[in-house]
Amino acid sequence: MRQILLTRNRRMPTEQNAMRIPLVLLLLPGLTTALADQRCDTSQHPRSAPTERFTVNGDGTVTDKASGLMWMRCALGQDWNGETCVGNAEDYAWSSTRTAAAAVNASGEHFFSDWRVPGLRDLAMIVERECENPRINLTIFPNTAPAFFWTKSVREEDPQSQAYALSFGPEGVEPHAKTLSHHLRLVRTAQ
């Protein structure tokens, strides 16, 4: 990664290099997904997942009034501290996502025992199309990384080795090898 960035910089005029190098140095040390400022543009279209569409339940969950689904506000690995999601989201291979949901259900820590891995359509409903970096309502789902999250939906052409992941970054929806690791946000049907 460093070599590619520096090669590109050599082709740029000196003034641009001076401005570009500090940005490169900021991104290299951690090589982790960095959360930058989210930008939203509602000048042409209203928000696709507005705050008023959700009921904040006060326990680290929200209920989507449009779909009837209850979501964990934090990705697995993060903790709800009463105001926001803290900590780092864990990564899971697709084969481990159902086991992770079962462990949450068995623990009883999240008040219900029917949490599940969302389907692609479920997860796509909480994408905020008018925002970027990340493409999600950060008031409802704070500290969500602009990264891929697993769905339970498998690719029909290759169900044994590929499943769909949805990115809250610029990538959107992609079929990925089930051996890759991504974040996970659980959902349940609200009653």
* Tens digit of each residue's pLDDT (9 = 90 or more) over 139-149: 999 999 999 99
The residue whose two tokens read 């690791």 is 181
Full 3-state SS string of the chain: CHHHHHHHHHCCCHHHHHHHHHHHHHHCCCCCCCCCCCEECCCCCCCCCCHHHEEECCCCEEEECCCCEEEECCCECEEECCCCEECCCCCEEHHHHHHHHHHHHHHCCCCCCCCECCCHHHHHCCECCCEECCCECCCCCCCCCCCEEEEEEECCCCCCCEEEEEECCCCCEEEEECCCEEECCCEEECC
CA 137 to mean position of chain CA atoms: 11
| pLDDT band of 26, cuts 50, 70, 90 | very low
pTM for this structure? 0.79
Mean of the pLDDT values across residues 79-105? Answer: 97
Q: What is the pLDDT of residue 37?
A: 87
Domain spans, the chain: 1-31, 39-189
pLDDT at 155 over 50: yes
Average pLDDT of the segment spanning 151-178? 95
Confidence of residue 48 (pLDDT cuts 50, 70, 90): confident
Q: What is residue 29's predicted lDDT score, i.e. its pLDDT? A: 36
Is domain 39-189 given the CATH code 3.40.50 in the classification?
no
Identify the band that residue 36 occupies on the pLDDT scale cut at 50, 70 and 90.
low
pLDDT digits (tens, 9 = 90+) for 95-131: 999 999 999 999 988 789 999 999 999 999 999 999 9
Mean pLDDT, range 33-47, rounded to an integer: 79
Average pLDDT over residues 10-20: 37
Q: Residues 117, 152: contact at Cβ < 8 Å?
A: yes
pLDDT at 23: 34
Average pLDDT along the chain = 84
Mean pLDDT, residues 28-38 taken together:
49
Based on its alpha-carbon atoms, the radius of gyration of the chain, rounded to whole angstroms, reads 19
How far apart CA 187 and CA 105 sit, in angstroms, is: 11
